[in-house]
Amino acid sequence: MALVPYVENSLPVLSKLHNSSAQFRFANHDLRLAQDWKKLGVAAVVWDAAVVMCMYLEMGKVELKGKGVIELGAGTGLVGIVAALLGAKVTITDREPALDFLSANVKANVPPDSQGSVVVSELTWGEGLERYPAGGFDVVLGADIVYLEDTFVPLLQTLEHLCSDSTVVLLACKIRYKRDTNFLSMLKQRFMVEEIYYEKQRDIHVYKSWKLPPRKDL
């Protein structure tokens, strides 16, 4: 399900999404991510939120080395790949149709001696969560995963399952519509939420969240 339709000669601001690859340098590595808008739509292009999330991870304000990290809605896998290059043990997830594409990007960009620190796995939010350890991750990452209102409830269910009281959730978002702020309001019912970074040029916000303690009925 694409955010915008595919058009060969679309607006210049979207033209980079139609390139067959996108190149970056993060964590002292040159990365080349394959893109395939025609085949997989939003799941197969690098969005600005992923780039900004990687910029934030490089700042070192969140400890990643040796930590258990899971990325949701990974798409091309850029964020999870950078987390692995920064020393995390990463589970990179997306829906089944994107997995072969995602796996190829991981194989092409993670050095052979680090391949063992990355697992690519299918995860449709709200489904089959028992396959993932409850509260089993130190950090949960999501870049530009808040845009379809129908996914908000299963996404929250997934976050609640994956997070322990000490898990840190990092979400990089472009606030496009009122529904995006609605999701943040829903998240605040179960998680503490604070904005920790804003990249003005790309208009991307990074939010840090962690679970609220259980409510005690009076």
pLDDT in tens, 158-176: 999 999 999 999 999 988 7
Name all domains of the chain by residue range, CATH numbers in brackets: 43-211 (3.40.50.150)
Give the whole-angstrom CA distance, residue 69 versus residue 46.
20
Residues pairing with 195 in the sheet: 207
For 59-107, write each residue's pLDDT tens digit: 999 999 999 999 999 999 999 999 999 999 999 999 998 899 999 999 9
Q: At what angle do helices 78-85 and 48-58 cross, to 10 degrees?
A: 10
Q: Which is higher by pLDDT, 126 or 1?
A: 126
Residue 16 pLDDT: 55
How large is the average pLDDT for residues 16-39? 83
Residue 6 pLDDT: 34
Give the whole-angstrom CA distance, residue 58 versus residue 19.
25
DSSP string spanning 53-108?
A: HHHHHHTT-S--TT-EEEEES-TT-HHHHHHHHTT-EEEEEE-GGGHHHHHHHHHH
Give the residue among 105, 141, 104, 149 at the shortest CA–CA distance from 123.
141
Residue 33 pLDDT: 93
The widest CA-to-CA distance across the chain, in whole angstroms, is: 61
Residue 18 pLDDT: 60
Give the whole-angstrom CA distance, residue 65 versus residue 45.
27
Residue 3 pLDDT: 35
Residue 66 pLDDT: 96
- Are 50 and 172 in contact, with CB atoms under 8 Å apart? yes
Q: Taking 60 as the threshold, does the pLDDT of residue 10 lie above it?
A: no
Give the whole-angstrom CA distance, residue 130 versus residue 158.
10
**SS3 call for 175:** coil
Residue 42 pLDDT: 65
Residue 17 pLDDT: 54
Q: Taking 50 as the threshold, does the pLDDT of residue 27 lie above it?
A: yes
Residue 41 pLDDT: 63
Give the residue among 147, 131, 142 at the shortest CA–CA distance from 42.
147
For 103-154, write each residue's pLDDT tens digit: 999 999 999 988 899 999 999 999 999 999 999 999 999 999 987 889 999 9
Give the whole-angstrom CA distance, residue 13 versus residue 11.
5
**SS3 call for 144:** coil
The CA–CA distances, whole Å, from 98 to 36, 166, 216 equal 10, 30, 42
The CA–CA distances, whole Å, from 27 to 30, 55, 60, 91, 138 equal 8, 9, 11, 18, 20
Buried residues in 131-147 as b, exposed as e (16+ CB within 10 A) = ebeeeebbbbbbbbbbb
Q: Which is higher by pLDDT, 155 or 47?
A: 155
